[in-house]
Amino acid sequence: MTTEITRLTDAAVAGEIIADAFSPDAITSWLIPPVRDRVPIQRRFFTMHAAHALDHGDIYGIHESGELAGVAVWFTAPFPEIPGQEDVIASFAGEHAERFGILGEQMDKLHPHEPHHYLAFIALVRGKTGRGLGSLLLEEHHRRLDAEGMPAYLEASSQASRRLYLRHGYVDMPELLRLPDGPVMYPMWRAPLPRGGSPADGHVEESRPGTPG
């Protein structure tokens, strides 16, 4: 099968893929306990953020044999908050809006202040995992970051995704993100690689921010 990575301009398409992929994960289960509510609410949430990334970052889509198989949403930090975000979330999340607020506060507390690119979301269409497509999406933007000497930041939502990011040069930040009576997220940082470098070179660990913002 042939693969191609392009820039996407349709936030709704990206939001739908991310919402469907994330619906069974522990973070979504904590945010929205009723299964029936998860995809509709998360579709609105992820589409809202993808639309914001169109103005303040990049959205990539990976196509397999011409069909969209996954997306990655990046922000160039620092970037402004979504105007009226709390009210917008309350309008579609209803009784679950408070938990979205708690998650946002915890993420903001640990987010580094240094200039960087922030990987907000990466997701594959169901049935497309295990083929290396996620790695290809990461590598596409990492090449740009390395050329520009720009670090990256993300929060891994599981140990499985954390292991993937470790293989791509990310290191753990000093503090975990712990949700009240809920799951843990793993803030991670990736320093840019020098020309011809690799994550094993050892310089990644040295340039990790010591104190989150």
User: Is residue 12 situated within a structural domain?
Assistant: yes
Contacts 24+ apart (CB under 8 A), 47-50: 47/11, 47/12, 47/14, 47/15, 47/16, 47/19, 48/11, 48/15, 48/82, 48/85, 48/88, 48/89, 49/15, 49/73, 49/82, 49/120, 49/121, 50/11, 50/12, 50/14, 50/15, 50/18, 50/121
What gap in Å lies between CA 74 and CA 48, rounded to an integer? 14
Residue 149 resides in a domain: yes
Residue 211 lies in a domain: no
Range of the domain at 156: 3-206
Is residue 102, in this structure, part of any structural domain at all?
Answer: yes
Successive 10-residue mean pLDDT values, the chain, 213 residues: 94 98 95 96 98 98 95 96 96 97 96 96 92 95 97 96 96 96 97 70 46 37
Considering all CA atoms of the chain, what is the largest pairwise distance in Å, rounded to the nearest integer? Answer: 50
Residue 155 half-sphere exposure, CB side, CA atoms within 13 Å? 21
How many domains does the structure of the chain reveal? 1
The beta strands (E) that lie in the chain are given as 3-7, 57-64, 67-77, 116-124, 152-156, 171-172, 177-178, 184-190
Query: Residue 156 falls within a domain, yes or no?
Result: yes
Would you say residue 172 lies in a domain? yes
The span from the CA of 203 to the CA of 169, in Å, is 10
Output the pLDDT for position 209.
66
- Whether residue 213 lies inside any domain: the answer is no
The domain that contains 69 carries what CATH number? 3.40.630.30
Which phi and psi (to 5°) does residue 197 adopt?
A: -85, 180
Distance, CA of 148 to chain centre = 20
- How many whole angstroms separate alpha carbon 1 and alpha carbon 6? 16
What span, in angstroms and rounded, lies between the C-alpha atoms of 107 and 52? 17
